Amino acid sequence: MVEVTVTPQSSLADRPVQIRVRGLSPSQLVTLRAWLKDERGERFQSHAFFRADTAGEVDPGLHGALGGSYSGVWPMGLFWFLQPDTLFRRLIKRDVAGSPFHVHLEVFDGLCLGTDPRHQPLGSCEAERWYMGPGVQRMPIREGRVRGSLFLPP
């Protein structure tokens, strides 16, 4: 059974996480895909191709991506290289305090370029990416033409 894990599963958006895939065949070629929907329902996704090591594992922090949205060793590449399905859309988080982005991570056998529903993932998991930590206070600032927010630690 193939297992995809993100550690920690829930974290702040600027904190690194570790992605691991276990249970593959040695040297198996796989596609790792990350995707999320923003607050407007727009889909953003990234993908990278990897070859499993001799233990049947993939760790983007140790193993270089062979291609896809990026190549080389980028531990957070699947998060950093998210692209919109619709051109000219930007990934913006408006409700930073109320809800996280839910990033879905999936692993597919072989090279998988599209989102064809016939392709079933070998394994998947979900990560929460929060933009405001617990206990942080957000204070709006409005002074003349200046607009912003002040974030005060607990």
Place of tokens 């090279």: 111
pTM above 0.85, yes or no: yes
Who's near 105: CB < 8 A, 6+ residues apart? 4, 6, 19, 32, 33, 34, 78, 124, 125, 126, 127
- Go through the domains of the chain in sequence order and give each one's CATH number: 3-152 (2.60.40.2240)
Q: Which amino acid is at 117?
A: P
- Could you read off the pLDDT of 90-148 as tens digits, one per residue? 999 988 888 999 999 999 999 988 666 678 899 999 999 999 999 999 999 999 999 99
- Could you read off the pLDDT of 28-40 as tens digits, one per residue? 999 999 999 999 9
Q: What are the two backbone dihedrals, phi and then psi, of residue 54, each rounded to the nearest 5 degrees? A: -65, -20
Yes or no: say if 50 and 60 are a contact pair by the CB < 8 Å rule.
yes
